[in-house]
Amino acid sequence: MRITTLASVVIPCLGFSASSIAAAEDVMIVSASGYEKKLTNAAASVSVISQEELQSSQYHDLAEALRSVEGVDVESGTGKTGGLEISIRGMPASYTLILIDGVRQGGSSDVTPNGFSAMNTGFMPPLAAIERIEVIRGPMSTLYGSDAMGGVVNIITRKNADKWLSSVNAGLNLQESNKWGNSSQFNFWSSGPLVDDSVSLQVRGSTQQRQGSSVTSLSDTAATRIPYPTESQNYNLGARLDWKASEQDVLWFDMDTTRQRYDNRDGQLGSLTGGYDRTLRYERNKISAGYDHTFTFGTWKSYLNWNETENKGRELVRSVLKRDKWGLAGQPRELKESNLILNSCSPGDPIVTLTAGKDVLTDWLYCIRFMKEKDSKYGGYSGEHPTKFL
């Protein structure tokens, strides 16, 4: 059955004007090398989605915004919650790393097992807050770690507005058949200076409401997963404070929280007797602080990021318990992960050259990273995984 959108209601942006799309040779990106450089000079396959391109289409989540990007497949997999999964060049969705301003978002696939990885892509900053989206197709493990074996999606947001700008958007999708649930969304963004040429503030938020569907399968002969199978609510709220201490130095602080709720009263997402509660929840809290210093040859960027992700509503089943623990079956199963990441990267001074065989390298990057991960995936099981690398 084809889902048809019959109505769409949009409140225009207030006090907002989109910038024109720059020519490819003038587009600057940061994801491919860790520092700003021209798109045409990037040593990777990179696509850039401008804000004007995002404005021209309606989307519910990040995966829908990437639907038209070459080498990105969001149609091959639909998560149990109805969200589309992001696969780059045929790699599993778990190998696509999602970043916002270079900072990783959400938890690993271990926190969302059994077809729930779309929970990690069910959030996105409001449209007016996005400057562009950079998509790297291909392995970027050297720069970003093993989570980026398939590729990287980096959402670059607008910063340091010199005057107050605000945006409010609302949308409503009505389905042709009452077998399919209607959906609505609302988001806002506001940014401006608190102190001229020094301190600026950004606040943002969004909510998505979706009705459930009475359709259980798209096929009359086989069970198939359908999009948007159950009632859901998705909330996101965040704020960022920037302090421009000098022309070369900027300090910033960012907080963000996400809440997702999915109805499972009829076992649409998982059997009520097989490890699933009547309501499933996904919660994420993130706090970041950073410092940027601009040299004549580039910008040294450092940040400290704490990220906690929890998947609630799962229960312990015998298959994951030892025999002497079978009595715990039916108890809440904890799926929780927290990360503490320290990252500091600086482009190399072009005066200092490196040699590799016959090649002389004047375009290089030096990074120091530290990550400490703590997770709990089963009842009574937890682990800490400190990782240090240069």
pLDDT band for position 291 (cuts 50, 70, 90): very high
Mean pLDDT value across residues 292-301:
86
pTM of the complete model? 0.75
Residue type, 311: N
Per-residue pLDDT, 259: 93
- Dist. CA 98–CA 148, nearest whole Å: 9
Evaluated on CA atoms 97, 100, 106, 112, the torsion sign reads: negative
pLDDT band for position 255 (cuts 50, 70, 90): very high
Token pair in block for residue 9: 């209601």
In tens, the pLDDT along 16-66 reads 333 333 444 556 666 555 545 555 555 568 888 888 888 787 676 787 788
Domains of the chain: 24-389 (2.170.130.10)
Token pair in block for residue 342: 């320290």
Mean pLDDT value across residues 167-195:
88
- Dist. CA 133–CA 382, nearest whole Å: 35
Per-residue pLDDT, 3: 40
- Dist. CA 144–CA 146, nearest whole Å: 7
* 185: β partners: 171, 208
- 275 near 269, Cβ under 8 Å? no
Per-residue pLDDT, 252: 95
Residue type, 274: G
- Dist. CA 144–CA 345, nearest whole Å: 12
Query: DSSP alpha helices (H): ranges in 158-307?
Result: none
Token pair in block for residue 388: 């240090």
Token pair in block for residue 1: 């059955």
Which of 275, 276, 381, 289 minimizes the C-alpha distance to 340? 289
**Full DSSP string of 3-46:** --B-----PPPSS--PPPPPPGGG-EESTTTSS-EEGGG-SSEE
Position with higher pLDDT, 388 vs 260: 260
Per-residue pLDDT, 195: 93
pLDDT band for position 317 (cuts 50, 70, 90): confident
In tens, the pLDDT along 193-235 reads 999 889 999 999 999 898 887 766 656 555 555 555 788 999 9
Rounded alpha-carbon distances, angstroms, from residue 274 to 144, 229, 269, 332: 36, 19, 11, 12
Q: Does residue 352 register a pLDDT over 60? A: no
